[in-house]
Copies of this chain bind each other. A is one copy, B any other.
């Protein structure tokens, strides 16, 4: 028979079992966190009509889309979870209750040029709160709380959530008489972290044609220590600025009540998150020790979720985590906690006799106790059997031989310590349960 060399497409993450268990733990933690905040899970098709998916049209994204013909249909694979949400909300408007809070964790597709750490198939983990006509600012205040709980539940501690407000930013340029130059100014101040204040100032003056005074004023504003205090200096000069300042104050005032420590949150006037989609609060999340990774959770407030499908005003606020890339980066940096349970079972039963019925019976009992149990049924030598438990990292081996059967017991071996004890199945279940409860306290990320 002619054989084909098995391979997985480049840009598609496919993990070995232990790594996959770590990835699943991360997805599950995100699901649980999103659910704690009252978001409902959604699952939309991976394929949509191209007409629907590309309603917005144009841009860099369109080139990357997996688009194809099937019969008479022009189809595309989803490239994010926002467009399918917009379709869903517009389509099911009459059957939804607003504010509509949904989470979706699923794969999306972008045919990017393959390179290390770039994926063509990757998971996004999104939440959005959609209002019907309006949406209160306190929804924007709740988002950092979700980001904080999500990452700390994963085990990450050294991160900071940065927020800004697009109204404030646009209002600030407007009140300086620089409305038309705002895009160029934004691009320049976005580089502050990387190139420093002097170089940003030079760009503002030389490339953007600002006066030295205006450039200084902008730099003073964005680098001010007391950000909330700085806002009051400009109050009353521009309605848009005042609105943004008020929103930012409100959002910031909720951080304590939403359980976010001061050192995990800051206002940062340099954050813009793209130039046209977001209209209010915007969010970024940086790993303190790895700013080079960029934001690991971003989003913001927008005014028109589904304008391509409905005339209804559907404002919203949402964030997204690119889980596949985050997982890859965490792995590269050695942040994945290998102490979490990655074994497929808590107990491996080793039947030492021809007849496996006692093993089957013990397995049925342990599974009834909620213990993940595997029976090693192959007719191999003891060394091969116990070696299997060892290689897979299964924490306990339950040995069932003549002696054990006659005593109505089993030998439970703790694979880590080597300790072995003759116990009843009830005792075994209790020992395993306690050990696993401890192990399951481990978080998937370890700094």
Q: Contact at A367–B66, with CB atoms within 8 Å?
A: no
Q: How far is the CB of A11 from the nearest CB of chain B, in Å?
A: 9
Contact of A360 with B5 in the complex, beta carbons under 8 Å: no
In the complex, whether A374 has a CB less than 8 A from a CB of chain B is yes
- With contacts A136-B379, A378-B131 taken as known, whether A4 is within 8 angstroms of B309 at the C-beta atoms is yes
Q: Complex: how many Å from CA A372 to CA B103? A: 14
A21 to B31, CA, bound (A): 13
Of the candidates B87, B259, B378, which one forms a contact with A136 in the assembled complex, judged by CB atoms under 8 Å apart?
B378
**Is the CB of A1 closer than 8 A to any CB of chain B?**
yes
In contact, B377 and A136 (Cβ under 8 angstroms): yes
Is the CB–CB distance between A138 and B375 below 8 Å?
A: yes
Q: Write the nearest CB–CB distance from A270 to chain B, whole angstroms.
A: 27
A344 touches B378 (CB 8 A): no
Confirm or deny: A121 has a beta carbon within 8 angstroms of a beta carbon on chain B: yes
CB distance from A47 to the nearest CB of B (A): 6
Q: Which residue in B46, B69, B86, B357 is a CB contact (below 8 Å) of A257? A: B357
Residues of B within 8 A of A367 (CB): 36-37, 149
- Chain B neighbourhood of A234, CB < 8 A: none
B interface footprint on A1-37 (CB within 8 Å = 1, 0 otherwise) = 1011111110011111100110110000000000111
- In the bound assembly, the distance between CA atoms of A136 and B384 in angstroms comes to 15
A91 in contact (CB, < 8 A): yes
B3 & A257 in contact (Cβ 8 Å cutoff)? no
A86 to B6, CA, bound (A): 9
Q: Which of A37-56 contact B (CB under 8 A)?
A: 37-49, 51-52, 55
User: Which residues 303-331 of A have a CB within 8 angstroms of B?
Assistant: 306-311
- Greatest chain B CB density within 10 A among A8, A134, A253 is at A8
User: For residue A348, which residue of chain B has the nearest CB?
Assistant: B38
Instruction: Check: A155 CB closer than 8 A to any chain B CB.
Output: no
Q: Which B residues lie within 8 Å of A311 (CB)?
A: 3
Q: Can you report 27 residue pairs joining A to B where beta carbons are below 8 Å apart?
A: A3-B311, A6-B86, A6-B88, A6-B90, A7-B91, A8-B44, A9-B49, A12-B47, A14-B44, A14-B88, A16-B96, A17-B96, A21-B40, A24-B41, A37-B372, A38-B374, A38-B375, A47-B109, A97-B388, A97-B392, A99-B377, A99-B378, A131-B378, A136-B378, A254-B357, A257-B361, A258-B360
Known A3-B308, A12-B47, A36-B373; 17 more pairs at CB < 8 Å: A1-B307, A1-B308, A6-B52, A7-B87, A8-B87, A16-B96, A17-B40, A20-B43, A23-B43, A37-B372, A40-B344, A46-B121, A66-B68, A97-B392, A142-B377, A145-B364, A149-B367
The 3 A-B pairs with the shortest beta carbon distances in the complex, nearest first, are A38-B374, A68-B68, A38-B345
